[in-house]
Structure 1
């Protein structure tokens, strides 16, 4: 059974040099990238996650989403509530039509048919907008720019230092060259006008497709790295890469991304993004100091534990 190939780095500079589009390693493939604050996190869409920090945890509606069919209906309920709120606020949502509004209100079973899988293509733009405003969907965010993924991994990390556990952040790289042959996973590219954030971030998505034949199955949260088709017929080792970095290097990575012009103000156009860049700056100020302390401690621990120095 194929699994991701992990490539660990110890410094932010080395990691950036590796993921740089100038690195010939990336020339022959068609990679997309995703940054996560922990290398322990799986590639599971937000609406599919379970556990204490997941959306709706503890609610009866989430608890009863125990089959594939009930999970999809739960997703439709979340989307419906998002769109109803947009209606009340007078907000235009790309792709939202009167027909979709009617189906969500009266014919939700029409979203699950034998001939088509969920999510339906006509729902992609709606789900993309919801996703960019932190409404959970079964879309998983990716970017075509590796430095953008580095920014998200670093900016979402919690800069507490654990010199014993040595937590790591992760940048994922997925080869999409043969994605047209995939049946379970789809690559989704919505128009740039769908979301200003998406356009600024060169964003796109993956999603797990649900077919009618599986609706009565017991639901288990989907994780992209567990889907064997993405590794190809030959289980190619470089089809999915997990590139990791010690947490205490995250502030340095965030600083370097800023110097490359990748920060909150460029990735989130508007006042919100500018304010985010200021918060990132403050985190860098605190985090770089902490990272130096962590590095000093790690070096001290290595000295204490090395028998050659005693």
Structure 2
């Protein structure tokens, strides 16, 4: 067990959180993460709250470990979202894709621990002012919807950690124990994995997507729609996304109309496969429990190795 502020707040063995990916971060994957000692997250970014409610119901039969919910503000317009989240019995929620002031006070008023996802120092300081309990600091190499002015985790994470006192979860480029150790060296007390979990055995996405991640080089993602309109995002390189890199579509969000044909049908040109640069470091599909176990083992070995190599004595 790793003990720090993140594990205390989340009630988990290991400060490893699964990213709240739309349509993907549902009961099958989230329960596997929680059962393995991390924290599974149920998504709301698909906007399909009726389906999400059913996934939440499934969690009770799949795990007795802590888990959380993400409120993706740009995609969830239910005026009762705070009550919906609070009524599920979870204690932890992440908010993202919007103003941290929108829900923070109401969620905390219902007894929830609130972390906000931030892509910049300015966003981090705004979230602190809103009263969040912690931050998910997300570097631009991560997959999904991004700040158009992307900053790599190596720069962003130590910058934010030097300016705030709340606990920080690092996201973007995290896939194993070495990257977890690096994140801790830069000031984080937890890590979030997205692409690594998309490729996990329990991930519900089509095998074609997993195979593409496993086969990807470190250069096989593209940063799309930097100049809008709509959000910027990072995705796997396909014929479609390579073209969009040069000539953005009129509506990047319109390209998700056939998302399910890609996610679960395996047509990798039907939509956009959101994935991070770390796909270039993933070489196999593994069960979630193995991913988390190997991550923790390598994290501990890396810290010990560095300490021994440079003569650092840990009391």
Give the TM-score, by structure 1 length.
0.27
Whose helix fraction is larger, Structure 1's or Structure 2's?
1
Give the TM-score, by structure 2 length.
0.27
